[in-house]
Each structure stands twice: as C-alpha cells, then as structure tokens.
Chain A
Amino acid sequence: ELKVEQNPLFLSMQEGKNYTIYCNYSTTSDRLYWYRQDPGKSLESLFVLLSNGAVKQEGRLMASLDTKARLSTLHITAAVHDLSATYFCAVDKAGNEKLTFGTGTRLTIIP
C-alpha cells in the first residue's frame, strides 16, 4: 500500500523567513505533484515533477524530487502572508491514474 507522509503537519513562520516542507512516499512512484488548498476551497496545482533530480520554481516556491530517496521538498523563500494555505503532495504511477495524497502541511505566515 502506497503511503505518503508530509513533515511538518503544521508550520507557523514569520514573513521573510525560509523553510522547507518534506514529502516522503513508501514505494516507487513515477510522478510527484504539489497542490495548494486555501480554506474551504479546492486544490490548485503548483508543480508536477516527473523525474529524479527534477526541480521546478514558481515565485517564492521551489519543488524538487529525489526518487532514490523517495523524497520531495517544497522550499519557501522569503515567505509572505499570501502563501498561507495547506500544501499537499501526491504521487501516482504511470498507467495508474489514481493519486495518493499526503497528509498535508498547514502553513501559516505570521506578519
């Protein structure tokens, strides 16, 4: 059974600081996704990582994938309040369209 765990589950950080969210998964997987969810809202796709060593950046967010370690990271640079949300990673395998979601990380940026 594929398990996806995120660390930490809750994160409060001050504006301007840097931090990293970690996503570990239990079995080999082909693709790793990061999503953002605002309270009461649906999911917004942030990144799709397809291969070992993949790195993608959008604004203050950067995601990377290490398939050998079964680890993905979401790095936040110089956090701003607008980044407050819950972030989910998810994984799947080629030929199987079912996504397995991580536990989620609730990020709160404090002014």
Chain B
Amino acid sequence: GAVVSQHPSRVICKSGTSVKIECRSLDFQATTMFWYRQFPKQSLMLMATSNEGSKATYEQGVEKDKFLINHASLTLSTLTVTSAHPEDSSFYICSARFPGSSGANVLTFGAGSRLTVL
C-alpha cells in the first residue's frame, strides 16, 4: 500500500528559529502533496498545495513567507516554518494522492509532526 513518511514526528524549538518538516512518498510518485495544520481538538485546515517543480499554492490567510514549501522531486516535499513563534505550535500533517483504481482522490497521510515553539 501507499506510504507517506513524515519527519520529524516531534520537534521543539526556540522562538525565532526555523524548522523544516519533510514529507516523502515511499513507494509511489506524488506530483502533488498537501500540507494541513491541526490545532488541538480541532479539524484539519489545508495550508497549501505543494506542486512538484513549481510554486506551492497557498490557502487564503496562510503566510507564504512564513511557511515555505518546496517540492523538489516527485517523492519529497518540505515545509519550513521560518522565524517560528509560539502561535505556530501545532500538529502539521502532509498527504499525497495515491492513484486509486476508482479514480477517487485517495489521500494517504503522513504520521504528522508536532511542533512546539518555546
């Protein structure tokens, strides 16, 4: 089955530093990956769509200069939280579309990365 590997699973950093989160599709190629953010006990909010070889598409209200997304290959997308502040503390989840036989948008999710900014 399709596997999306996300690393690190947990990261604690000081305010003002930058943190990079990696999302890899292990056994399939993903031209598109998605980055979600989830606050405690809340739903998932789409932050951006990561497109291989081109610029990411950000959702309204998401600061593109704070959340840098790079999709340099068909199996890797990275999210860098720049100059992190405590309000950036959250659970970040990536996902990739694995082609389903039914044609449905079968998203496979990474394990998530819990970011804590002190």
Contact = CB atoms under 8 A, between A and B. Distances in A.
Interface of A: 31, 33, 40-45, 48, 50, 88, 92, 97-104, 106
Nearest to B100: A48
B106 A42 contact: no
Interface string B87-101: 000000101010010
A50 B44 contact: no
Interface residues of B, number: 25
Interface of B: 6, 32, 34, 41-46, 49, 93, 95, 97, 100, 102, 104-112, 114
A42 B97 CA distance: 15
A45 B106 contact: yes
The 10 A-B pairs of least Cβ separation, nearest first, read A43-B109, A42-B112, A42-B109, A101-B44, A101-B43, A42-B111, A48-B104, A104-B43, A97-B105, A92-B105
